[in-house]
Structure 1
Amino acid sequence: MPQIRQVISTLTNDGKEIMGPDVLVYHYPDNSILNGSLLTVESNHFAVLKSRGAILNVYETGQYVIQTPDRPIIGAFQQAFFGGQSPWQYEVIYINRAKLILEVSGVAYSKEMAEMGYHVSCYVHVDTKEDALKLVQHMPMSGHYVSMKEVNWYAGPVIEQSINKIVQLTELERVNERMPEILELVKEHLQEFLSVYGLTLNDVKALVYPRDERMKELIALRAFGLSEIDAVRYYTAMIMAQKGVISAPNMAIGEPFFIGNPQVATDRITQVESKH
């Protein structure tokens, strides 16, 4: 009776794909892979075959019969004791070649040492068989998976350094003006770093913003053309109005509040508006 050939793939017994959008590398967990096993590689994967720590081959899409390169046991002896199968052990490592998302968040500091939050999203992929080989050689594995979360840990310091290199020399209000420079620097440094691991950087999107909510409001008011002192007054007036303080309009225009004669403030507001 012919022996059933072992099938190696990234599908579970019920047909579900193991390598989702958050998995970069998957190590096939069976350590009893033998000569003659059938290796299946899906259209969006690479597969790397190793034996006793040595890399034997890198496969693209298709089905392949695993064969030992030097056949240490041959002929009738192999047939009698191993049913035609060599006891040479193999490892199969699958590489996700689809575009995956790398996301990093952190804190930078402006020229005034104001805290600026940032969130960077990047699309990366493994482009060629040579790149898949680099990834297996240089990316350490703990367990049977390398997730994108682990890749984020490697990329985080590179992104942080790139953003701080510009943000630390820029006034808080001018950080957004320099976003094109920030993006270019992140792309340059990140691609240089990721290429060691065989990863190609496709696109980078970044958002840098004040972490303090009050600073966000003040910058928004400054965007309307208000001076610094006017922006502070209008911000304070909005807070007062939310709390129902009737002198909020006086705060906005910088005029004193007269108890019992609110018309003074109303007239002053009308005068200010008429000038504009």
Structure 2
Amino acid sequence: MALIDIVKYNGNEKEFAWRFPNDELSTKTQLIVNESQVAVLFKGGKAYDVYEAGRHTLETMNMPLLNKLINLPFGGETPFKAEVWFVNMTHSLDIKWGTSSPVNIQDPKYGIYIPISAYGQFGITVNNPKEFLKKLVGTLPSFGQHDVINYFRGFYTTNVKDEISNYLVNKKITILELGAHLKELSEYMKNDMAEGFNSYGLELLNFYVEDISVPETDEGISRLKAALNKKAEMDIVGYDYKEERGYDALVGAAKNEGQAGTVAGAGIGLGMGTVMGHELGTLLKESNENLKKEDNIMCPDCGYESSKDSKFCSNCSKTFQKECGQCGQIINNENQKFCDECGSSLLKKCHQCEAVLSNNAKFCHDCGEKVVE
């Protein structure tokens, strides 16, 4: 095979590295290196001399490292074998990246796992040609953007998951709020991934997260959005979740009573369908204030506090008050023995032997007769 007179770059603009196809060189071979390129001579798979932009004659004085290996003599045209690699040092800023499938990330604020998909682009440049060629290129004839994407897909996919999770924890925000933080998240991820690229002789110039999406059909997302919508509604109206539960209980009590007798019942019975916005918030606030009076009644079943005039527990609907069987007078004191209106006995008695029974007795302790409620 004839010796090569001129060695120059013949790859395309998308290549990071390109190998000259012939290795039959001599001390008269002219090496032409373009601007924004370097050339690296390899012998036996090991990188030796590096050439900057310009025209170089591959003579012994221009190959100090390689000359030590093959002992090239001075003068004359001496043939030798060596590979010439051209490395483009330009900035490649349009390398696309994306998660091939959704990755599950736990929302630090709500604790549920949410599958997310992310994509964007990044820019790199070669900052250590020898390290780049040894660790990434190997025996390939060329190395371009497509190879970078394939080699680093696992690296950035893993880092995307970890860095997003760390960012959410550090910022104490939910996944659904990430859209407002993409610029800061991009810089955060670039800083953390730069060292990984640098170990391969590459400098990570930028890393952009263009979009993070979540599947609308995911059950966790649907529940989370419903909860956030409910919270927004409560914030607008002016009440919280505890007050809403109390309101629901009051509705249930009013239905059980069958009439709009209490404050809540009156509000529900007279205009439940028309109470909106500020009026609903005012009604709930007034009801809540009534429930917080010092002389509230505590339900013996669930421990919830209700106003002293309540006939039912606002939480579990347990009946508080009892009526005199003779005159219908309301008895507030559960331990009262006689009606203060007509004087009739309020004690629970066995219908068989008239023995005095406890309020929760199911059988008479004297005659064993089943208690009739």
TM-score normalised to structure 1 length: 0.63
Give the deviation of 1:175 after TM superposition. Answer: 2.3
Per chain length, whose mean CA-contact separation is higher, i.e. which structure has more relative contact order (CA < 8 Å, sep 6+)? 1
Cα pair 1:167 1:175 within 8 Å, conserved = no
Identity %: 15
Cα gap change, 1:140/1:161 in structure 2, threshold over 3 Å: closer, same or farther?
same
Cα pair 1:124 1:201 within 8 Å, conserved = yes
2:31 and 2:37 map into 1 onto residues whose CA distance is 12
State yes or no: 1:193 paired with 2:196. yes
Residues 208-267 of structure 1: CA deviation (Å, up to 9, x unaligned): 32253568xx99xx8xxx936999xxxxxxxxxxxxxxxxxxxxxxxxxxxxxxxxxxxx
2:230 and 2:51 map into 1 onto residues whose CA distance is 62
State yes or no: 1:227 paired with 2:226. no
Cα pair 1:105 1:120 within 8 Å, conserved = yes
Give the total of aligned pairs.
208
2:200 and 2:50 map into 1 onto residues whose CA distance is 16
Cα pair 1:48 1:133 within 8 Å, conserved = yes
Where does residue 91 of structure 2 map in the other structure? 99
Where does residue 243 of structure 1 map in the other structure? none
State yes or no: 1:19 paired with 2:12. yes
Cα pair 2:183 2:208 within 8 Å, conserved = no
Residues 78-97 of structure 1: CA deviation (Å, up to 9, x unaligned): 9xxxxx43232111001011
- Larger mean CA deviation between 158-167 and 141-150 belongs to 158-167
SS at match of 1:114: strand
Equivalences for residues 45-64 of structure 1 within 5 A: 45-64=37-56
Equivalences for residues 98-137 of structure 1 within 5 A: 98-100=90-92, 101-106=94-99, 107-110=102-105, 111=107, 112-127=112-127, 131-137=128-134
2:186 and 2:90 map into 1 onto residues whose CA distance is 23
Aligned partner of 1:175: which letter?
Answer: L
2:183 and 2:73 map into 1 onto residues whose CA distance is 63
State yes or no: 1:204 paired with 2:203. no
2:181 and 2:115 map into 1 onto residues whose CA distance is 17
1:66 and 1:207 map into 2 onto residues whose CA distance is 47
Higher Cα Rg, which structure: 2
Cα gap change, 1:4/1:93 in structure 2, threshold over 3 Å: closer, same or farther?
closer
1:163 and 1:49 map into 2 onto residues whose CA distance is 37
Q: Which 4+ runs in 1 deviate beyond 6 A?
A: none
Where does residue 140 of structure 2 map in the other structure? 143
Cα pair 2:24 2:81 within 8 Å, conserved = yes
- Larger mean CA deviation between 47-56 and 197-206 belongs to 47-56
1:180 and 1:56 map into 2 onto residues whose CA distance is 42
Cα pair 1:42 1:62 within 8 Å, conserved = yes
2:5 and 2:183 map into 1 onto residues whose CA distance is 53
Residues 16-47 of structure 1: CA deviation (Å, up to 9, x unaligned): xx2312x1111111122222110000002111
Where does residue 15 of structure 1 map in the other structure? none
1:19 and 1:147 map into 2 onto residues whose CA distance is 9
SS at match of 1:19: coil
Alignment RMSD (CA, Å): 3.4
Aligned partner of 2:207: which letter?
Answer: V
Where does residue 172 of structure 1 map in the other structure? 175
SS at match of 2:176: helix
- Larger mean CA deviation between 139-148 and 30-39 belongs to 139-148
Cα gap change, 1:210/1:54 in structure 2, threshold over 3 Å: closer, same or farther?
closer
2:192 and 2:155 map into 1 onto residues whose CA distance is 7
Cα gap change, 1:175/1:123 in structure 2, threshold over 3 Å: closer, same or farther?
same
Where does residue 152 of structure 2 map in the other structure? 155
Cα gap change, 1:228/1:40 in structure 2, threshold over 3 Å: closer, same or farther?
farther
Aligned partner of 2:18: which letter?
Answer: Y
